[in-house]
Amino acid sequence: MIEDLEVQTEPRSFSRLDVAFARFLSQRTGFDPLQKQAFETIVMTGSYEQNQGHSCIQIDDKARALLLASGLVEPNPESQANPLPLVIEQDRLYLHRYWNYENRLALQIKAMTQAEHPIEKLDALLDRYFDMRDETDDQREAAKMAAKQSFSIITGGPGTGKTFTVVKILALLQELAEQPLHIALAAPTGKAAMRLQESIGKSKAKLPCSEAIKNRIPETVTTLHRLLGAIPPSPYFRHNADKPLVYDLVVVDEASMVDLALMSKLLDALKPGARLILLGDKDQLASVESGAVLADLAMAETLQNNVYTLKKSHRFGGAIKELAEAVNFQQDELAWQILSNGGDGAVQCLDEDLIDYVAAQQADYLQLAKAGAEFERIFQAFSRFQVLCSNRQGKNSVADINYRVEQKLAEQKRIDLSGLWYPGRPVMVTQNNPALHLYNGDIGICMPDSIPSTSSGQVSTGKLMVFFQRADGSVKRYLPARVPHCETVFAMTIHKSQGSEFEEVLIVLPEAINPVLTKELLYTAITRAKKTIKLVAGEAVFTATVRQKIERVTGLVDKFKI
């Protein structure tokens, strides 16, 4: 009866929570043992798939009939005063909370699209901000769209000028506003916020407007959780529909990383009449949590006047661009040919020993750390190169490479592994700690602390501290014991690399295909590189990865059909 619910070929490994939730509900039905077993399997499947990133599951007529007979499923949730735990909408089964997120998000965006902003002499303003001699016609059209709409999505690959375009939009809107607009800039992670802040600062200087207008464009970028006012450990925020944000305009970068729940809560927290601009690459990995919001919204039928895709890359070309496009369009043979040929030298398969090569790339930053250089120089040197893996465990995984690289560096006497913490140890925070302003994905480096000296500038105290660079460029230091749960980060997962850029990226795939390996994962890894990509993978695994596509089950696109 429930065989049609299967969305993957491998058997599911239901968690204890999946099982407990299903049994909790089945005990509240009047089913016989066989019916309870079938009901529990459907509910466990829904709970499991939600944890895999789907906001709902598809069901057949038999499953629908059984679910409705349980008395725990609402077929018309909008009319239900006391919502039931499960929702059926068309052929989709939701946990009620995720139906509510999806439904509210769609309703709020639809309401925002009804508001238009006719602007006189807009073309003259656009002509000043966008010089056609620089071939920025697509950026001009994106700005024209965003200026007229309360809700806008600007999507495009790396180097297409999303940030530069939105800075011009902010300046243009400030010129048009009778009173200065109160603007918030946000991103899903601290790394993404730092990158956006750097880009905004550089772009403002080039604007063809007065200093007064430039000064109205904020440079401080915050994470979405800080913007909304997270209340850990609860899933709630200080800002919501009852206590909205004060901003007239909110800009969110790297919106592909924003999951369904967080996006819905952001829309809830916007004040009436506020604008929202989402920036991101719809072809990148979807969020780790449920939903594929940016991709779904970008393809929604009734939102096409609110979405603009930038296609011309202004800094991202050559073999890296060719490889990214081949992977994105699932042209596996062409992608492998580009790698095999070496292109312009920017992309190639690694023909050296993996661990020896990775260890060699750490020499510069470890030397700077040993010499007691300033943290900014050490961090910049470390951030030049990064190993990106698809998996956390197993051969050629994050755990495997981090362990083997540490051992190799210890053999070479470049680090001292006599203790957990050593000078030069790079770490990634894996647990949010708002009190310390440290968040999942933040990267720091362990170094001896230093104090100012009139004679030599800095003198080491010998005490080990962990240094982090904040989004505003400032540096914070913490005792290792105070740092939230973290892990060594000579290698990181591709998921964790979202929102980052590196001069050179080494992409390492496992020896056998697995469900994690998809063209979106590989595309995301490729587009983290600015200059060079090296790959460790067999042809069979590489081509299978390019052929495998993420298919998330959601109902969001259907909610925007005419």
Residue ranges of the annotated binding site for ATP are: 156-163
For the packed helices 332-341 and 318-328, what is the interaxial angle rounded to 10 degrees?
A: 160
DSSP string, 402-469: HHHHHHHHHHTTSS-TTSS--TT-EEEE-S-BGGGTB-TT-EEEEEEEEEEETTTEEEEEEEEEEEEE
295 phi and psi, to 5 degrees?
A: -65, -40
**Burial (0-12, 13-18, 19+ Cβ within 10 Å), 501:** middle
Alpha-carbon distance of 545 to 542, in angstroms, equals 5
Q: Which amino acid is at 378?
A: I
Alpha-carbon distance of 209 to 128, in angstroms, equals 9
3-state DSSP of 165-213: HHHHHHHHHHHHCCCCCCEEEEECCHHHHHHHHHHHHHHHCCCCCCHHH
Q: Sort strands 443-453 and 307-310 into parallel, antiparallel or unpaired.
A: unpaired
Q: Measuring CA to CA, which residue among 227, 293, 302 is closest to residue 263?
A: 293
475 phi and psi, to 5 degrees?
A: -120, 130
Q: Sort strands 151-156 and 307-310 into parallel, antiparallel or unpaired.
A: parallel
3-state DSSP of 66-85: HHHHCCCEECCHHHCCCCCC
Question: Each residue of 147-171: b (16+ CB within 10 Å) or e?
Answer: bbbbbbbbbbbbbbbbbbbbbbbbb
Alpha-carbon distance of 216 to 354, in angstroms, equals 49
Half-sphere exposure of 297 (CA within 13 A, CB side): 36
114 phi and psi, to 5 degrees?
A: -75, -20
Q: Who contacts 477 (Cβ-Cβ below 8 Å, separation ≥6)?
A: 449, 465, 466, 467, 468
DSSP string, 212-274: HHHHTS---EEEHHHHHTB-TTSS-BS-SSSS----SEEEESSGGG--HHHHHHHHHHSPTT-
Pair of tokens at residue 173: 């809107």
Phi-psi region of 161 (alpha: psi -120 to 50; beta: other; left: phi over 0): left
Neighbours of 198 (CB within 10 A): 15
* Residue recorded with tokens 């629908």: 64
Q: How many contiguous H segments (helices) and E segments (strands) does the chain have?
A: 21, 20
Pair of tokens at residue 542: 């590489």
Q: Who contacts 512 (Cβ-Cβ below 8 Å, separation ≥6)?
A: 541
Neighbours of 550 (CB within 10 A): 14
Half-sphere exposure of 429 (CA within 13 A, CB side): 26
Give the annotated binding-site residues: 156-163
